[in-house]
Amino acid sequence: MAQIKKENLPEKICVVCGRPFTWRKKWEKVWDEVKYCSDRCRQNK
């Protein structure tokens, strides 16, 4: 995969806190399923 510049990373809005968060390498294969910015928000759904 070609390198993507940090400012061009995909972004989503957390369904719990409403804050934007950016793509992370660890979410590479599951990005379509990611809904929460953190474990804390995931537990507070």
Digit-coded pLDDT (tens) for 28-38:
999 999 999 99
Does pLDDT of 2 surpass 70? Answer: no
Strands (E), the chain: 11-13, 20-22
DSSP structure class, residue 12: E
**Tokens found for residue 23:** 């793509």
Reported pTM? 0.79
